[in-house]
Amino acid sequence: MQPIKSIDPQAILINTHHINEVVSLVRGGTDALTYAKPIKLMVPRVRTNPVIGIVPISSGCLDACAFCSTRLVKGVLFSFPPEVIENEVKKCVEDGCKEIWITGQDTCCYGFDRKTNLAILLKKLVEIPGDFKIRVGMGNPRHLPKFLEELVEVMKNEKIFKFIHLPLQAGNDEVLKSMRRGHNVQQVKDIIITLRKKIPEMTISTDIIVGHPTETESQFEDTLKLVQELKIDNMNIARFAPRPGTAAASMEDQVHGNISKERSRKLTKVYRDLSLTSNQKWLGWEGEVIVDQKKEGGVEARNYAYKTIFIRQDLPLGTKLNAKITDAQVFFLVGVPVC
């Protein structure tokens, strides 16, 4: 690839750490490629979906997972100040957002660099007046035990979707160790059992990597067993791909692509069965949903557990209505409006 400067020597290069400076750099500046800690909040933004406000709460994380290149780019955890996050959420609500997605590379370690945590932040956010629900983004389960009870309590609040995204990545301790995840299988089981006990309808979403270096067939089978045992509702399945500069890229015992492909196929089959079973539990349910996506032939809405409900009717984004679930497919539910 031809270096940008050889195409245009006047080009100004910036990295994601300097995104807040785009305007001033365009007006006259030099390359900004250094590491920095911008607070990416309260800046002008165009929402692709007017009813969803995406609010980053931090950048970077406290870990160094062997397969992860994000950490190399984003650096160590930098939690944004809670009061700035609050103001951003208030702004989203004033703008008409019905769903607030709080995000970060790892939401579960939010605040550890500020002597606070995610649960304390959420307690403040649910006090913001207005008609909205918060969706908590992905977090490394290894940090959760430090504030799990507190988190469960605040997640009972009606302003928070009963949804959590905890990437397990694998169901075998040796593989987790080679991934340098910092958690083991039992810790994850304990967390999910607690969550399900306290909030039974909680939707649990996870990420799994198949074919990580060193993963044997029987270790992969452990992953299959774990997701079945925990009855995971949603799953993002990735085949391991070496990222330049990461520890996993140079590990011995790389797993052949054909084997990863086969493992991905097996896991996908298990996931489809789990997802369908999870969705079938909602058949006949009736309750409030929020329309948040336009789809061909209708709209998609979400209920309090962040389940995806397809409604064959054209409704404006942000509409709240009562719906009854009439069908359960593998990846979504089908609902009809009820009075």
Q: How far apart are CA 96 and CA 93, in angstroms?
A: 5
Q: In what order do the strands lie in the sheet with 99-103?
A: 52-56, 99-103, 133-136
Q: Please, which residue, 88 or 106, has the CB nearer to ligand SF4?
A: 106
In the chain, the amino acid numbered 12 is I
Q: Which of 206, 224, 216 is nearest to 265 (CA)?
A: 224
Angle between helices 217-229 and 185-198 (to 10 degrees): 10
Per-residue burial over 247-266, b = 16 or more CB atoms within 10 Å of its CB, e = otherwise: bbbeeeebbeeebbeebbee
Q: Please, which residue, 147 or 310, has the CB nearer to ligand SF4?
A: 147
Q: Please, which residue, 249 or 321, has the CB nearer to ligand SF4?
A: 249
Cβ(153)–Cβ(117) under 8 Å?
A: no
Task: Please tell me the number of Cα atoms within 13 Å of 140 on its side-chain side.
Answer: 23
Least separation in angstroms between residue 301's CB and ligand SF4 is: 30
Q: How far apart are CA 170 and CA 163, in angstroms?
A: 20
Q: Please, which residue, 68 or 267, has the CB nearer to ligand SF4?
A: 68
Chain centroid, CA 35 distance in Å: 24
Least separation in angstroms between residue 281's CB and ligand SF4 is: 30
Least separation in angstroms between residue 209's CB and ligand SF4 is: 10
Least separation in angstroms between residue 137's CB and ligand SF4 is: 11
Q: Please, which residue, 60 or 335, has the CB nearer to ligand SF4?
A: 60
Least separation in angstroms between residue 219's CB and ligand SF4 is: 19
Least separation in angstroms between residue 108's CB and ligand SF4 is: 9
Which DSSP symbol is given to 131? S
Cβ(106)–Cβ(141) under 8 Å?
A: no
Binding residues for ligand SF4, rule: CB under 6 A, are 61, 63-65, 68, 70-71, 105-106, 140
Q: Please, which residue, 68 or 160, has the CB nearer to ligand SF4?
A: 68
